[in-house]
Chain A
Amino acid sequence: MIFARPSQLRALGIVGMNERNSAYVMEYNRRRLYPLVDDKLQTKQLAQANGIAVPELYGVISIQYETRELPKIVATHESFVLKPSQGAGGDGVLVVAGRAGESYRLVNGTIVTDEALEYHLSRIISGMFSLGGLPDKALVEYMVKFDPLFESVSYQGVPDIRVIVFRSMPVAAMVRLPTRRSGGKANLHQGAVGAGVDIASGVTTHGVLGNARVANHPETGVPIGGIAIPHWPTILELSARCADLVGLGYLGVDIVLDRDLGPLVLELNARPGLNVQLANRIGLREGLERIENLSEIPSAIEERVALAQSLASDLRPAG
């Protein structure tokens, strides 16, 4: 089989890009709320103000000459992350894992100088990675020490958990595992492996690499399925609270598991991708429709998460 037939995809409840955009993103997400999620600085400040755990912000660099302040900002931190405030898809993120004398060691082992980091910062500020090329701000923040849980199914980088939240109810989730091809980035479009997570149980199900199914991680060879994610209820609660916070009806919440600090919210996405369907081998539509048909969403977070889990409990992979 080369192409799927539309009727087959419909039968599986797969939501396409056009339907996602018109029936969910445009229907449930008000455009004026986008800056809250498109600007990671705003997201972070909002989350912090509401007691949602996020990676600590060391500093913000928004003017060219401030790039020289970087050594001062990170003086007391062995490792840190530079990222554009309005970047998309992990572009422009630089992870500094440690020091090598006067220089810095990136997560992939490359040694870079002060000057190189400053150039990277000025590229971020000039809007190189921002949507529409508008001037941007660079965030300097805590580098997540990732939970050893995923060590065997990751290649460098930090795996993250993407939860799709609809009407403040978690509806689907996957773990994104970096590979050599993705350059340590947890971005499926760049070659990371996606692993579906059962909303009800928090256990990983299947893997997807690109658009193909995989059972094992391509570099480590370890099976992807069957991993129970710790703090699962907390992760779902965090996701639901983020949706309440920004007021977007259809939202992707990216969460990392820190070895010491537990689940941290990394960023939010107003137009989350659709690969979560391939990772879970089940279309989103059934889950979305069940939530859409609810006349009332419980206001208590625990109640809401429990309802989401029970709604998702009998959704079984169609594949």
Chain B
Amino acid sequence: MTGPKARTRDLHVRLLALVLIVLGASVCWYKNAYLGLPLRPGEDTETWTVQAQLVLEARRKPVKASLLVPREPPGFVVLDEDFISGGFGLAVETEGGVRRASWAVRRASGPQTLYYRLSLARTEVETAKDGPVPKYPPKPEYAEPYGSAVRGILDEVREESADIATFTRELLLRLSSPAADENVHLIREGIDDPNEWALRVVDILRGARIPSRIAYGLRLGDSRNQARLEPLLVVHNEKQWIYFDLESGERGLPPGFLIWYEGDAPLIEAEGVSKLPEIVFSVTRTYREVVEVARRRAGQRGSRLIEFSLLSLPVNLQNVYRILLMVPLGALLMVVLRNVVGLRTFGTFMPILIALAFRETQLLWGIILFVLLVGLGLGFRFYLEQLRLLLVPRLAAVLTIVLIVMAAISIFSAQAGMQRGLSVALFPMVILAMVIERMSIVWEEHGPAEAMIQGLGSLVVASLGYLVMTQPLLIHLVFVFPEVLLVVLGIVLLLGRYTGYRLSELWRFRSAVQDSP
């Protein structure tokens, strides 16, 4: 049935299709899994806007104030960040593991308000922070009897732990245990503030020569106006920094915990003010489109894939491509309907263009208008036949008539207040004129039945095309993952070497199997 040349070609096409499909699918997968682009349209994701408000009391003198702000907070992606500084000059610099925003003004008086605003979304992938391995801290000189209590606890904990992480966990559990022994009571004495407690834990760990520090951050949840920074213990296990919850001893960054800064640098510094400025944190939870969040995330990760995507186009052009990118899917449908099903239509891709027009008119109105236009045009075309015009003038005449009928339908439906009727203007009139011409020839040469079969076939394909090309899920997929078109191309190539029977042939050749057993 097939010669060696044909087999080589089959193999060639299959390999090419395979490459295209695998390439398209893997780019899609990458964009979905790593950049977080959603597979479904209209998905929203939780985002938070955190605002730090700093109120200064100026005394008609130069004022300088600085605030530590988050630096690539782990577990989050920064969508937006802005500083509202009034008349102040602003400088942001990163130094010694912290990021500091400094405001300065030559002269100010009365209360001054500075804002720092940050929009964030959670991200699944942990961004591991490297840094230099810290030195072992020197053993502090503890006062007695506190010192003996600390040593007692450290000895007990050392007995029951294997490494730094388990040591820290065991220590935290022991220190916060409700059934505390005397040593613990002694250590906990006089502490009623979580920040002080955190400092004490760091102090105790220093007794075991374990490098540790405190991370301050916010728990992002529901919207809140008076949020407070909470401490989190960070311990270095000779490989990396590990977070521990001070109360529960649980290891790892708690979900939704935004690290504002780490270490013992002061959060706020100010000069030329009457008292230390107050800071108020507020958290607002909002929802944003996943696509938008993914774009920022990709930008932060340095992925240029999204930068060079359709999402970077101006919005009006994006909308054009939303429609145009559906055309190959319509063409794929056309290939299936013609080569696998075996439908007969006028023109190869005419039904797809009609389907595009149906997008504007909606299906029912589209079909009504199409039938009306083709019907009237056909009537006129039969009348023209008697005048015996040459081909091109006749086509031009049909085209003109189609346009006049379109305008008339628009005017009448405007008068009658039917909005849908107006959209007839979006029908491709040249295509319609060609359909009318083709249909009239088929009508004359092969009879009305054949003309109706092909006309109906075209209408069925156009309607199916409309249904496919208006699927929100497909529109979203093709627009956000244009790589899908490579997959479509691969499938079209494969179908281009399809040599099996068409569905219509199973009908056509049915008499061949009538008498066979």
Contacts and interface: CB of A to CB of B under 8 A. Distances in A.
B2 interface: yes
Given A16-B505, A17-B342, A126-B390, A319 B512 contact: yes
A295 B509 CA distance: 32
Interface of A: 1-6, 8-9, 11-12, 14, 16-19, 22-23, 27, 64, 91, 119, 122-123, 126-128, 133, 189-190, 208, 211-213, 277-278, 281, 283, 285, 288-289, 292, 318-319
Assign chain B's interface to a size class: 20 to 34
A212 B1 contact: no
B501 interface: yes
B502 A16 contact: yes
Interface in B496-517: 496-503, 505-516
A9 B512 contact: yes
A64 B393 CA distance: 14
B516 A318 contact: yes
B496 to A, nearest CB: 8
B395 to A, nearest CB: 9
B510 A1 contact: yes
Contacts of B513: 1, 4-5, 8-9, 12, 319
B510 A18 contact: no
15 contacts: A2-B507, A3-B510, A4-B510, A16-B499, A16-B505, A17-B502, A22-B496, A22-B499, A23-B6, A119-B388, A123-B388, A211-B511, A212-B511, A289-B1, A319-B515
B506 A18 contact: no
Given A17-B502, A19-B499, A292-B3, A126 B392 contact: yes
A18 B511 contact: no
B391 A27 contact: no
A91 B445 contact: yes
Contacts of A22: 6, 496-499
B516 to A, nearest CB: 6
A4 B339 contact: no
A2 B5 CA distance: 37
Interface string B116-144: 00000000000000000000000000000
Contact of B510 (A2, A16, A128, A281): A2
B52 to A, nearest CB: 68
B498 A4 contact: no
B512 A277 contact: yes
Interface in B369-404: 388, 390-392
Given A16-B501, A19-B1, A285-B1, A4 B509 contact: yes
B353 interface: no
Contacts of A9: 501, 505-506, 509, 512-513
B224 interface: no
Contact of B511 (A5, A127, A208, A283): A208
